[in-house]
Structure 1
Amino acid sequence: MQAVIRLHRANNYGYNLDLMILRNIFSDRTICKAVAAIILPLLLHSCAALKEDYNSECETGVKIKLQVAVNVNVGTGVNTSVDIDSSPAKVEKFYAEVHSVKFFVFDSTGTYIDVWGMEGKELLQKNDYTMDIPLGKGFYNVVALTGLEDTKYIVPTLTKGVSTIEDLNVKLERDAQNHQDKYLTPLWTGYTSKAVEVKEFSLTPIIIYVNVRKLTNTVIALLQDLSGKEVLSENYDFEIKADNGYLNSRGSLMPDDTITYSAYLKSNEQIESATIARAEMNTLRFDAKKNTRFVVTEKNATKADGTPKKILDINLTKYLLLTRSLYEGKVGFKLTEQQYLDYEDEYAIVFFLTPTGKVDDPYICVTININGWIIRLNEFEL
C-alpha cells in the first residue's frame, strides 16, 4: 500500500491533511509513522499559538477548580490540595447552594486581568466546579465568588489593567437605617494565597485549586416557656446586630456600620403541648473578636423607665463558641475560635425560658440548646 501526503495550511492554528492512497509502495506501518511525525509537531504548534490569541477555541490546559475548605488561609495553588473538608454533607450543601460562580483573575502585582464565570445549566453539566481558563505563561492570583446573582451583594465594576485586587470587595445592601431583613443567597469565597505560576501550555492540564468557605450564616432561634405558656413569634422582634456587612477579596471584614439583621421568616411551632416561637435570620461572617449581639424584644412593650422590654440581649458569638470544645471532641481535631465560626454556617438555638414574675424582666434563661448541645448557664439572667 502506498501513500502520498499532501499538506496545506488552513489557518493560523490548524492544517488540512490529505492522503492520496497509492498502492504497493509503502506499508501501513510506514504510513502511520510518517503521519505521526508530521501531525504531532503541528498539534503542539497550534496550542502554542494560543499564547498570542486568548479567543482561540483550542484547549489551553489551564483549569481552575473549587474545593470546600476548612480553612482557606493556606494551601491554594497549582496541583495541590490541603485542608479540604471531605465531609459529604458539607460538599453536598455546596453543590446544592451554589448556582453561579465567578473567577476574578489578577496578575502577580494584583492588577485585574479579567473575570470568567459559570452558572445555571453549565454548572449542572460541570458539577465538579472546574472551569477552563485561557491563561498564558505568567503568575496569577485568583479570587472566586459565588452567589453574586443576588443583587443584595454589591460588587464594584473592575477595569482591566487598572483595578487591583484591593478594589474587589463585597458590600451587603441595607436600607438607610442599616437594616436588613431579607433572605441572603449563600455566599462562598476563596482565593489563591499567593501568585500561582503557569509555566507553559501543556497537553496535561494545569489545575489551580481555590479552596472556598461560606460567608453567610443562618441562625434559627426558638423560644420556649418552661411553665407551658405559649410563646408566639408575632409578639417579638428577633435581631442580630453586627458590623460585618463589608468584606474584602479574602473574605476578611472591613470597617462598616452596625447592621441590624431581622428575621426573614417567623412561625409558631407545636412541640407536644408547648407552643414555641421560631425565627430564622441570616447574617454574614461571624468574627470571634467582635461582640455580635442577639436581641429579642417584646413588641409594643416598655419597661418602667421607658426602654424596650428585652427578653434576650446576649453576645451571640460567645455563646456559639461554648460548643467548640464539644464539637472538637466529636470530630477529633482542634479548631481555633475563628475556624470553628467559619466551619459552621447554621445554628439552631433553643432558649428555655423560666418566668420570673417580674414585669420588667419577665424571664431568666438557665439552659440553651445549640445544635443539639445542651449548655447550662447557672442562673444566668438574660
Structure 2
Amino acid sequence: MDIKTRIIGLTHLFATIFFASALASCNRIFEQEGDCSLHCTLKFRYDMNMKFADAFSNSVSHIEVYVYDTETRALLFKQEECSEKLSAEDYVMELEGLAPGSYDIAVWGGDGLCKEKFILDAPETGHYMTDVICTMQREEGNVKEDVGSLFYGMKRVTFEGTYGTHQETIYLTKNTNTVRVVLQHLSGIDVNPDEFIFKITDENGVMAYDNNVLEDEVLTYFPWSVTSGSAGIDAELKSTKAQTSVSVALAEFTLGRLVTGNNPTLSISNKVTGKTVLSIPFKDYALLVKGNYNKDMSDQEYLDRQDEYNLTFFLDEHGNWLTSQIIINSWHLVLQDSELN
C-alpha cells in the first residue's frame, strides 16, 4: 500500500468518525424530543386590530390549517384544533410528518358560531388552493342571525434542515364586524324599536382562497337583536335641563368583511308610515372616524383592523333624522358634506 492510498483511507475513516460524532451530538441535544427529526411548528397571531396587540388566545376557539404544495398548489394535508389548547398564550401547532421544503399554508378559524354560519368549500383531499371558497350562509339573500367571528391567514413558508424545530408565525385577519345602531329622539321622546326596520346591504358573503371578496348577490343583513335601552343625553343636545336620560332603540348586526371596493348601505325605515328615516353609505361613515392618528394607514387596513362600529343617530320632533350630527365610536361628528347624507 503506497502513501497516497493510506492517506485516502485515513480521510474516509476520519469522515466516518465525524458524522458518527455529529449524529451522537444531535441525539444528546434533542434527547428530550427523542429523535433528530425535523419539527415544523406554527404560531398564530391576531394583532390586526386597533390595539395592535395579539388577541388570538381570547378570540379563536377552533382553527383549520391547509398545507399546499407551492408548485402544484395541490392540498397535501389538513390539520385542525378545536380544544382548550388554543386559549394558551404559548400555543403552537406541530405539522405532523412534514418534510423539509416550501409550502403555502392557509388558515381559517373562528369561534364555534362561525363554524355553523360559514361553509368552507375545501375538501380534505383532492382540491387545489385556488379552488377554496368560503361562503356565508343566507336565506334568499337575507342574513338575520349572528354569524360569529371568522378569521383568515396565509403564508408561504420554507422549512429547512433535517432536524430541530422550525417555527413560522401566521398572522390572522378578522373577516366579521359587529355593528350597533342606536336611534334616539332629541326631544326626549322614547323610541319604540318595534316601529323601525333596520338593515344593511352589501355584496360580501363569498371569500376566495386569498381572502378577496368575490362577486356575490346583494345580501341584506338584518339585526340579530333589536332592543330598547337607556342612554344619557349630551349636555349640548338635551331639550330640558331636568332630563338626563332617554329610552332608545338598539339594533345589533354582524357583517362580513368590509372592503373599499364595495358600497354597503345602512338604512332605517318606519314600519308604520313606510317612510325611510335614513339611508347612508356605511363604509364612508365608518372611515370618517379613521382619524389623524391613523392617517398613514390605508382605508382597507383600517377596515380590517376595526371590527366594531357603534353609531348613534338622532331624530327630531317630527321623527326625521337630524342629518347634521352623528356619533360613531364615541366620536361626535357635525356633518357638513351633503354627499354623505
Please give the range of the TM-score, normalised by the shorter of the 2 chains. Answer: 0.7 to 0.9
Which runs of no fewer than 5 residues in structure 2 stay unpaired?
Answer: 1-19, 232-243
Structure 2 residue 157 is the aligned partner of structure 1 residue 196: yes
Structure 2 residue 317 is the aligned partner of structure 1 residue 317: no
8 Å Cα contact 2:37/2:162 also seen in 1: no
Instruction: Name the CA shift for 1:344/1:207 in 2 (closer, same or farther; >3 Å).
Output: same
> How many residues align structurally?
302
Please, what is the CA RMSD of the aligned residues?
2.7
1:34-73 alignment, distance < 5 Å? 40=24, 43=27, 60-70=38-48
Cα distance between partner residues in 1 of 2:36 and 2:266: 54
Partner of 1:249: 209
Partner of 2:197: 237
Partner of 2:10: none
Structure 2 residue 336 is the aligned partner of structure 1 residue 375: no
1:379 Cα offset (Å): 8.6
* Greater RCO (Cα-Cα under 8 Å, separation 6 or more): 2
Q: After alignment, is 261-270 or 128-137 more displaced?
A: 128-137
Cα deviation 1:339-360 (Å, max 9, x = unaligned): 11111000111112224x4xxx
8 Å Cα contact 2:109/2:150 also seen in 1: yes
Instruction: Name the CA shift for 1:148/1:61 in 2 (closer, same or farther; >3 Å).
Output: same
Structure 2 residue 115 is the aligned partner of structure 1 residue 137: no
Partner of 1:18: none
AA aligned opposite 1:274 = V
Deviant stretches of 4+, over 4 Å: 36-39, 56-59, 379-382
Structure 2 residue 113 is the aligned partner of structure 1 residue 174: no
Partner of 2:82: 119
Cα distance between partner residues in 2 of 1:373 and 1:38: 64
Instruction: Name the CA shift for 1:273/1:122 in 2 (closer, same or farther; >3 Å).
Output: closer
AA aligned opposite 1:268 = S
Partner of 1:290: 262
1:182 Cα offset (Å): 0.8
Instruction: Name the CA shift for 1:377/1:245 in 2 (closer, same or farther; >3 Å).
Output: same
Cα deviation 1:205-244 (Å, max 9, x = unaligned): 2112211111100001101111111112121111110000
1:298 Cα offset (Å): 1.2
8 Å Cα contact 1:295/1:311 also seen in 2: yes
| Residue of structure 1 aligned with 2:166, choices 206, 209, 229 | 206
AA aligned opposite 2:136 = L
8 Å Cα contact 2:313/2:321 also seen in 1: no
Cα deviation 1:140-182 (Å, max 9, x = unaligned): 000111127421110124253x31111122100001x210111
TM-score, normalising length: structure 2:
0.81
Structure 2 residue 329 is the aligned partner of structure 1 residue 364: no
Secondary structure (helix, strand or coil) at the match of 1:114 reads strand
| Residue of structure 1 aligned with 2:249, choices 277, 299, 304 | 277
Q: After alignment, is 181-190 or 346-355 more displaced?
A: 346-355
Partner of 1:8: none
1:278 Cα offset (Å): 0.6
Structure 2 residue 222 is the aligned partner of structure 1 residue 259: no
Which runs of no fewer than 5 residues in structure 1 stay unpaired?
Answer: 1-35, 48-55, 71-84, 303-308
